[in-house]
Structure 1
Amino acid sequence: MKQHRPLSKKDRLLCLSPFFESGLLRVGGRTKRSSLPFDAKHPIILDSKEQSTQLYIQKCHEICMLIGVEYTRNYIQQRCHIRGIRAFLRILAFKCIDCRRFRAPGLQPPMADLPDIRFHEIQSPVIFTKVGVDYLGPFAVVHRDAEVKTYICLFTCLVTRAIHLEVAEDLSTDKCLTAIRPFIARRGQPRFFLSDNGSNFLEARKRIRRPLMLDHDYIKDQLLIQSVEWKLNSPSAPRFGGVWERLVQCVK
């Protein structure tokens, strides 16, 4: 066994000091009259090169659930003052398999190519030729001293990302067709509509294809003669409408 050298006069004085308890050297300070625990006022002084200290740091590292170096260091320093603790914690976190797995960067999947509807056609390089449509709201509007719900119908050019807003009183099919009419009068006749599977869009798509169901003569003449194509996204796939959902957020 390793023989310990006898205590010198200086070591004996340290043992008699109030900061040395149970054979452990403690830190002094000016917080003696505070209400903090004794270990917090006078933490134990340890060395990170000792094996017992390293085992204690490793145990605290597991208790802190591998959060990080600074969090573990603050947790340990509530009771102990360890020399070189930050360097040892960095080495410990580097060798810890769980920490390396948590710090690993996430994989970014490659983005798919844009569909052909997001590009201009040589025949008609005009904005609002290919249009995506969606609703946002409701918004509270005061009408005749009463609050009513009002929606906004958003039209966006799939190529230039320009937007056109129209007010819609509700989500019915009639109001949807009513919002399309001023859009066409202002921006011109589109050749392609893209929307989600909302019930108002489904019914509007049917009415455009059936001339007897159209109430507005202007829409009947324009949409049916020009052969407007109305395409719907896949059901239960709202991520396919990101081209207008991002603009909905900007408008809100």
Structure 2
Amino acid sequence: MIAKDDVLKVSGKTELAVVLGADAKRPIILDSNHGFTQLLISFYHCKGAKIGAAPNPTMMGILPEDSLEVQEKPFEVSGVDFFDPIGVANGRRTVRRYGVLFTCLSVRAVHLEIVKDLTTDAAINAIRRFVARFGTRESPNLE
């Protein structure tokens, strides 16, 4: 995006962040052929021992507002996802178990649970174990 002062800036995931300033939300894009940019890139490549590294840009979506708020404790706002079966030793045989990944949306911490199958009961039990360990967000008093 081009800012008011004709400077090319990045538009990305932190667009909706309330706690960040305008410069932090939208950093300036530097010209890759400019001398200053070349010196800056070579400095950080040498510092990080990544001289032969090729840039790998990715386009990412805007973060939800809950991810950008300062949370009091981890997993106050979290997401959940199930992943493919993994082999688990059960005595002499290997059985298939599924993983449940709980992700904290503020500090990007993760918590893993294992479930026997992908039934509703197994999912509810995994969520209950998670809530028993980390608690729930207390709803504000509306009185």
Normalization by structure 1: what TM-score? 0.30
Task: Tell me which of the two structures has the higher relative contact order, counting C-alpha pairs closer than 8 angstroms and 6 or more residues apart.
Answer: 2
Q: Which has the larger radius of gyration?
A: 1
More helix by share: 1
Normalization by structure 2: what TM-score? 0.50
